[in-house]
Chains A and B, each alone.
Chain A
Amino acid sequence: MSVITQNLSRNKYFNWTVKNLFSSWVNTIMTIIAIIFVYEIGSFFLNWSIFSADFRTNFQGELITDRILCSKNIVPGEYGACWAIIYVRWDQFMYGLYPVEETWRVNLTYALLPFAIIGILFDKLPFRKIFIYFTFIFPFIAYFLLYGGPGLSTVGTNKWGGLLVTLFLGVTGIGLAFPLSILLALGRRSKMPIIKSLCIVFIEFIRGVPLITLLFTANVMLPLFLPDGVNPDNLLRALVAVTLFQSAYMAEAIRGGLQAIPKGHIEAAEALGLTYWQTTRKIILPQALKIAIPPIVNTCIGLFKDTSLVLIIGLFDLLGIGRAALADMTWTKLYYEVYVFISLVFFIFCFGMSRYSLYLEKKLKTDNS
Chain B
Amino acid sequence: MQTSFIRKIIFDEKSRALLIQTLVIGLFAVFIYLIAQQTSYNLEKRGISTGFDFLNIAAGYDISIRLIPFSSEDTHLRAYFVGLLNTLMIAVCGCILATILGFLVGIIRLSSNWLFRNIAYVYVEFTRNVPVLLQIILYYSILLNLPKIKQAFVIFDTFYLTNRGLFSPSPIFKEGFSLVFWSFIFAIVFSILLKRFLKKKQEQTGKQYPIFFINSAIIIFTPILFFYIMGMPLEFDSPVLKGFNFKGGMVIRPEFLGMLFGLSIYTAAFISETVRSGIISVSKGQREASQALGLKSSFVMRLIVIPQALRVIIPPLTSQYLNLTKNSSLGIAIGYADLVHGFGGISLNQTGRAIEIMLIVMLTYLSISLTISLFMNIYNKSVQFKGNA
The chain A residues found within 8 Å of chain B, CB to CB, are 20-21, 23, 27, 30-31, 34-35, 37-38, 191-195, 198, 205, 207-213, 216-217, 220-221, 223-227, 301, 305-306, 308-309, 311-312, 319, 323, 335-336, 339, 342-343, 346-347, 350-351, 354
Contacts and interface: CB of A to CB of B under 8 A. Distances in A.
Q: Which of the listed residues B21, B129, B141, B365 has the most CB atoms from chain A within 10 Å of its own CB? A: B129
A343 B130 contact: yes
Nearest to A306: B131
Contact of A346 (B21, B131, B326, B362): B131
21 contacts: A21-B113, A23-B112, A34-B115, A195-B20, A198-B28, A208-B366, A209-B362, A209-B369, A210-B327, A213-B358, A220-B358, A225-B39, A227-B38, A312-B332, A319-B137, A323-B137, A335-B141, A339-B141, A346-B129, A347-B130, A351-B125
Nearest to B370: A208
Q: Which of the listed residues A21, A210, A211 has the most CB atoms from chain B within 10 Å of its own CB? A: A210
Contact of A224 (B137, B326, B354): B354
A210 B322 CA distance: 10
Contact of B130 (A208, A305, A323): A305
B366 A205 contact: yes
Nearest to B46: A224
B134 A213 contact: no
B176 to A, nearest CB: 43
A69 B73 CA distance: 49
B363 to A, nearest CB: 9
B344 A31 contact: no
A37 B119 contact: yes
A319 B115 contact: no
Nearest to B35: A225
Contacts of B133: 308-309, 311, 319
A35 B130 contact: no
A223 B20 contact: no
A306 B266 CA distance: 13
Q: Which 8 A-B pairs have the closest CB atoms?
A: A20-B114, A34-B115, A350-B129, A210-B329, A305-B131, A210-B326, A335-B141, A308-B131
Contacts of B130: 305, 343, 346-347, 350
Contacts of A308: 131, 133-134
Given A221-B355, A224-B42, 4 more contacts: A37-B119, A192-B21, A205-B362, A216-B340
Nearest to B21: A194
A233 to B, nearest CB: 18
B229 interface: no
Contacts of A311: 133, 333
Contacts of B234: none
B112 A351 contact: no
B355 A34 contact: no
Contact of A354 (B129, B131, B138, B366): B129
Contacts of A198: 24, 28
A20 B112 contact: yes
B282 interface: no
Contacts of B365: 208-210, 213
Contact of B113 (A30, A212, A305, A347): A30
A223 B362 CA distance: 19
A224 B358 contact: no
B43 interface: yes
B115 A339 contact: no
A216 B134 contact: no
A323 B333 CA distance: 11
B113 A27 contact: yes
A220 B354 contact: yes
A225 B34 CA distance: 9
B376 to A, nearest CB: 14
A309 B17 CA distance: 41
Contacts of B134: 308, 319, 339, 342-343, 346
B59 interface: no
Contacts of B138: 335-336, 339, 343
Contacts of A221: 354-355, 358
Contacts of A21: 113-115
Nearest to B333: A312
B22 to A, nearest CB: 8
Contacts of B24: 194-195, 198
A236 B255 CA distance: 31
Contacts of B361: 213
B132 interface: yes
Interface in B327-355: 327, 329-330, 332-333, 340, 344, 348, 354-355
B304 to A, nearest CB: 23
A232 to B, nearest CB: 14
B214 to A, nearest CB: 30
Contacts of A342: 134
Nearest to A27: B113
B182 interface: no
B47 to A, nearest CB: 13
B114 A192 contact: no
